[in-house]
């Protein structure tokens, strides 16, 4: 620990008497605004300010980053209240995260840092070989972006580091949406990523999120196991062809990818071409609900149908509407599955926990007049580790059914 005499002078903030200090001592990383004594001095702190968090008896709990404008008013950075948040501090955490991914994966394509689970609250880093895309989704990370990126370059040796400022969370933190090249030069072409026998094209500067959804890798692999030679497959909300390309690589005879983004579907076609099965891919642009309805009216049938929509329930207030949307997806998709075929349904809404999502999916299947066996429940891959104390870190669910 740093000698207290040499420690930086930092503001001190205090929990209210009824706040759950025990949960924080046991690893919960957040303090909500209604748990903190927010006097005039605290409310005047700049977003991202580092402060010492104390319990009601003024005993230090650790070093936190404060944002008076956020519902999550404080995020735990270090149990050492005197820790210095500098490049060396970032290097230690990034190196620990890198050691795990290097053990898990043969090639440097993965989520390198998964926010709180890797000790960097609000920070997402996806790696694409020699390039990294950083999402600093909390005010403290935005304020320390240069130290973070310098540490990232040193630990990984990556020549290109991009800051991606898109996403709902930055808005909640009061941050801007301005992307930036932090190091090197932005790629001028999509980056090919090999996974599960397929090649995906990631647009690191103009695509959704960081350019690719690494979290579905394990679920893509399971869906590929459901494919018999020559199978007809449908990938709805496909983005760049995540499920569709994996199933084509596994021997599907034909795949249809449905998405609202023409740019994403173009990348899906590029990936199919790179994999040598471009002639077996069909793309269909449009609203997924409209396309599902139209396919039903056409009497279309597929051996495997996968629906991987965006977060319909991004927060608790949106939960009931989100569950109805998931139920509707299941109801529209189930009739498209040939007898004995498979239906995979996904949710990336942390507010829709597994039981509620699974029940909504089952209701939709039942309302479509189909009976189902639940075969498998999938989650994000191990490059998206969960923090046991933080349910939000385990946001992704995928349920796979066999329909009669």
Render each residue's pLDDT in the chain as its tens digit; 404 residues.
445 444 458 999 999 998 889 999 999 999 999 999 999 999 999 999 999 999 998 999 999 999 999 999 999 999 999 999 999 999 999 999 999 999 999 999 999 999 999 999 999 999 999 999 999 999 999 999 999 999 999 999 999 999 999 878 898 899 999 999 999 999 999 999 999 999 999 999 988 889 999 999 999 999 999 999 999 999 999 999 999 999 999 999 999 999 999 999 999 999 999 999 999 999 999 999 999 999 999 999 999 999 999 999 988 899 999 999 999 999 999 999 999 999 999 999 999 999 999 999 999 999 999 999 999 999 999 999 999 999 999 999 999 999 99
Choosing from 124, 154, 183, the residue where a domain stops is 183
207 and 318 housed in the same domain:
yes
At residue 169, the pLDDT reads 87
Choosing from 32, 53, 78, the residue where a domain stops is 78
What radius of gyration, in Å, describes the C-alpha atoms of the chain? 23
Nearest to residue 74, comparing CAs of 94, 55, 95, 93? Answer: 55
Range of the domain at 289: 191-403
157 and 234 housed in the same domain:
no
210 and 253 housed in the same domain:
yes
362: domain CATH number is: 3.40.50.150
150 and 248 housed in the same domain:
no
At residue 4, the pLDDT reads 44
At residue 8, the pLDDT reads 54
How far apart are the C-alpha atoms of 61 and 27, rounded to whole Å?
Answer: 11
Structural domain count, the chain: 3
**Number of residues assigned to the chain:** 404
353 and 235 housed in the same domain:
yes
140: domain CATH number is: 3.30.750.80
Choosing from 78, 113, 143, the residue where a domain stops is 78
210 and 298 housed in the same domain:
yes
31 and 113 housed in the same domain:
no
200 and 268 housed in the same domain:
yes
At residue 377, the pLDDT reads 98
Long-range contacts of 25-28 (CB under 8 A, 24+ apart): 25/61, 26/389, 27/387, 27/388, 27/389, 28/76, 28/389, 28/390
Give me 241's structure tokens. 């062809």
316 and 287 housed in the same domain:
yes
Catalytic center residues: 348
Q: Say if residue 57 is exposed, middle or buried (CB neighbours under 10 Å; 0-12, 13-18, 19+).
A: exposed
At residue 2, the pLDDT reads 46
Q: 230 near 258, Cβ under 8 Å?
A: no
174 and 275 housed in the same domain:
no
**Sign of the alpha-carbon dihedral angle for 146, 151, 156, 157:** positive
174 and 196 housed in the same domain:
no
203 and 156 housed in the same domain:
no
């Amino acid at each position: 620990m740093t000698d207290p005499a040499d420690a930086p002078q930092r503001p001190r903030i205090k929990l209210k008497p009824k706040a759950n200090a025990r949960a924080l001592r046991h690893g919960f990383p957040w303090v909500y605004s209604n748990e903190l004594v927010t006097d005039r001095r605290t409310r005047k702190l700049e977003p991202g300010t580092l402060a010492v968090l104390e319990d009601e008896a003024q005993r230090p709990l650790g070093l936190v980053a404060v944002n008076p404008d956020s519902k999550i008013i404080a995020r735990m950075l270090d149990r050492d209240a005197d820790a210095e948040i500098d490049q060396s501090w970032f290097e230690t955490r990034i190196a620990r995260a890198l050691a795990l991914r290097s053990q898990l994966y043969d090639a440097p394509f993965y989520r390198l840092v998964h926010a709180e689970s890797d000790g960097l609250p609000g920070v997402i880093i996806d790696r694409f070989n020699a390039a990294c895309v950083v999402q600093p989704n909390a005010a403290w990370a935005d304020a320390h972006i240069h130290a973070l990126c310098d540490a990232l370059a040193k630990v990984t040796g990556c020549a290109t580091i991009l800051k991606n400022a898109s996403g709902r969370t930055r808005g909640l933190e009061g941050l801007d949406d301005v992307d930036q090249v932090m190091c090197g030069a932005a790629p001028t072409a999509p980056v090919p990523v090999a996974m599960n026998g397929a090649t995906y094209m990631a647009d690191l500067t103009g695509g959704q999120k960081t350019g690719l959804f690494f979290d579905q890798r394990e679920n893509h692999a399971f869906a590929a196991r459901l494919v018999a030679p020559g199978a007809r497959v449908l990938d709805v909300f496909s983005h760049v062809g995540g499920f569709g390309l994996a199933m084509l690589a596994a021997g599907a005879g034909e795949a249809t990818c449905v998405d609202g983004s023409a740019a994403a579907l173009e990348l899906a076609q590029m990936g199919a071409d790179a994999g040598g099965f471009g002639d077996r891919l069909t793309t269909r642009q449009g609203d997924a609900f409209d396309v599902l309805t139209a396919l039903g009216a056409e009497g279309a049938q597929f051996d495997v149908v996968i629906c991987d929509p965006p977060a319909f329930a991004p927060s608790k207030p949106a939960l009931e509407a989100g569950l109805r949307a998931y139920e509707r997806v299941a109801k529209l998709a189930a009739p498209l599955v040939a007898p004995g075929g498979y239906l995979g349904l996904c949710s990336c809404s942390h507010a829709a926990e597994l039981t509620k999502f699974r029940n909504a999916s089952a209701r939709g299947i039942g309302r479509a007049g189909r009976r189902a066996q639940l075969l498998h429940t999938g989650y994000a891959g191990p490059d998206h580790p969960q923090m046991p104390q933080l349910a939000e870190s385990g946001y992704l669910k995928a349920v796979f059914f066999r329909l009669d």
